[in-house]
């Protein structure tokens, strides 16, 4: 489970949220009459959570992927029962005593992180990709052609999760059900059951690299949306590809195939792609040292962050407030750009001694940053320092 909590830093009474998102679960209320309403055409658990947050009476919400229905309940989830399911996500929310709508957690603009990382996974040479599932299990890809899995309570001993391919890179833990892996040499994306088993190809043609719509060319980062469509940073084709479930061809949704450039229509070696709550693509255009916001259906992107004087940025993440975090590989730091100053600067927020070579980074709902460090062959957790979570209005 992911837990997000905040404490009020101002004297006025604001909402402090305690939120649990349990993928592939369903909330069974103690009393069915405690339902507030069923909302339709809600696109994703984040939007469902926002609907609950904006309703003063809501304490628990279920999001049903099938039908895109968001059910809001009065009672707290601890009164009812959370059961396993394959069709719903459950979200529990305790509001501030005096909290009202449009008040939710946000990291302070001057937030700071501990500069000493705690090792949460180690002993993986040549690590490239990393993701963490909802139970805290860590999945790591490396150039030695396998994927390792560390349990949440064991940082030293990994199990082999997947192998028999060449140069796995991007990895995406979808809910607690599947793990998606981008394989560079075979230029495909594979989908594995999270409990282990045989994979299926969900993008690309195995062993056939290229620039056709059924091919990929050294794919890097991947993102899977609520409909299980896969977005792929097709790095050497300088494009973002979208593959629908069970599709035999992808669709170019950003960039121009096999054409690099630095204008708003082109990409140059994109390394990762994410979707925001409005389904805009947020793209790390690594070859151009920039982060773009690219609406789906558009032929142009807008630069959010220009990362000048940074020679290699292999990864990017962002939080709910469009604070953008990037890994600066050769300068050994994690940078953060904030929208309140129009992303004008990207200062280092984590630059430890001894130095690191950060590749993939992750941000949990507590504000802690996880870094896959190439130098130490380890994943380190850098904790958000106390008193750096605040509640703000109109977020």
Confidence band for 155, pLDDT divided at 50, 70 and 90: confident
Distance CA 170, CA 168 (A): 7
Distance CA 307, CA 47 (A): 30
- What residues contact residue 56 under an 8 Å CB cut-off, 6+ apart? 95, 99, 100, 101
Q: State pLDDT tens for residues 103-133.
A: 344 566 778 899 999 999 999 988 989 999 8
**Six-digit token string for 108:** 């302070």
Work out the percent of the chain whose per-residue pLDDT is above 90.
Answer: 50
Confidence band for 17, pLDDT divided at 50, 70 and 90: very low
What is the residue whose two structure tokens read 């109109």? 394
Q: Indicate the SS3 state at residue 237.
A: helix
Q: State pLDDT tens for residues 314-355.
A: 999 988 778 899 999 999 999 999 988 889 889 999 999 989
Question: Which range has highest mean pLDDT (141-150, 215-224, 300-309)?
Answer: 215-224
Write the Ramachandran bin of 337: left for phi over 0, alpha for psi from -120 to 50, otherwise beta. beta
Distance CA 206, CA 178 (A): 20
Distance CA 103, CA 231 (A): 32
Distance CA 314, CA 301 (A): 19
Residue 105 has a pLDDT of 45
CA 127 from chain centre, in angstroms, equals 19
Residue 276 has a pLDDT of 87
**Six-digit token string for 236:** 């050497």
- From residue 80, alpha-carbon distances to 26, 91, 241, 327 in Å are 10, 13, 42, 42
Cβ atoms 173, 162 nearer than 8 A? no
Judged on CB neighbours under 10 Å (0-12, 13-18, 19+), 256 is: middle
- Whose CA is closest to 385, among 34, 82, 108? 108
249 versus 49: the higher-pLDDT residue is: 249
- From residue 175, alpha-carbon distances to 31, 114, 141 in Å are 28, 29, 18
90 versus 48: the higher-pLDDT residue is: 48
Please tell me what DSSP assigns to residue 78: T
Mean pLDDT of the region 184-189: 94
Residue 83 has a pLDDT of 65
pTM of the model as a whole: 0.76
Distance CA 26, CA 82 (A): 6
Arithmetic mean of pLDDT over the chain: 82
Distance CA 224, CA 175 (A): 10
Question: Quick check: bond before 354 cis, omega within 30?
Answer: yes
Q: State pLDDT tens for residues 60-84.
A: 788 887 788 888 888 766 666 666 5
CA 170 from chain centre, in angstroms, equals 12
Distance CA 328, CA 371 (A): 11
Residue 53 phi/psi, 5° resolution? -65, -35
Q: Is the pLDDT of residue 136 over 70?
A: yes
Residue 164 has a pLDDT of 85
Residue 25 has a pLDDT of 64
Confidence band for 90, pLDDT divided at 50, 70 and 90: low
């Amino acid at each position: 489970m992911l837990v997000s909590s905040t404490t009020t830093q101002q004297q006025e009474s604001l909402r402090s949220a305690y939120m649990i998102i349990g993928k592939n679960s369903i909330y069974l209320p103690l009393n069915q009459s405690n339902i507030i309403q069923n909302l339709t055409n809600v696109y994703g658990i984040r939007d469902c959570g926002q609907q609950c947050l904006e309703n003063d009476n809501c304490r628990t919400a279920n999001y049903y992927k099938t039908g895109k229905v968001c059910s809001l309940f009065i009672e707290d989830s601890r009164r009812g029962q959370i059961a396993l399911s394959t069709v719903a996500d459950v979200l529990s929310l305790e509001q501030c005593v005096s909290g009202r709508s449009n008040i939710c957690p946000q990291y302070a603009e001057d937030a700071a992180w501990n500069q000493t990382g705690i090792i949460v996974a180690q002993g993986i040479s040549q690590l490239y990709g990393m993701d963490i599932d909802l139970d805290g299990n860590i999945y790591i890809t490396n150039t030695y052609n396998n994927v390792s899995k560390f349990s949440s309570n064991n940082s030293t001993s990994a199990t082999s999760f997947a192998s028999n391919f060449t140069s796995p890179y991007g990895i995406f833990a979808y809910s607690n059900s599947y793990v998606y892996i981008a394989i560079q040499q075979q230029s495909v994306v594979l989908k594995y059951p999270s409990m282990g088993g045989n994979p299926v190809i969900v993008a690309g043609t195995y062993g056939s690299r290229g620039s056709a719509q059924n091919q990929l060319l050294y794919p890097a980062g991947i993102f899977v949306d609520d409909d299980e469509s896969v977005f792929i940073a097709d790095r050497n084709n300088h494009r973002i590809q979208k593959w629908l479930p069970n599709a035999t061809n992808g669709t170019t949704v950003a960039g121009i195939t096999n054409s690099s450039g630095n204008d708003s229509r082109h990409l140059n070696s994109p390394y990762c792609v994410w979707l925001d709550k409005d389904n805009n693509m947020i793209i790390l255009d690594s070859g151009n040292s920039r982060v773009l916001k690219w609406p789906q259906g558009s032929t142009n992107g807008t630069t959010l962050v220009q990362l000048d004087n940074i020679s290699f940025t292999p990864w990017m993440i962002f939080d709910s407030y469009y604070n953008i975090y990037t890994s600066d590989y050769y300068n050994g730091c994690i940078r953060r750009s904030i929208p309140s100053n129009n992303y004008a600067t990207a200062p280092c927020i984590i630059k430890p001694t001894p130095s690191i070579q950060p590749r993939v980074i992750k941000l949990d709902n507590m504000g802690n940053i996880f870094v896959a460090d190439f130098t130490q062959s380890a994943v380190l957790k850098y904790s958000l320092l106390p008193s750096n979570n605040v509640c703000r209005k109109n977020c």
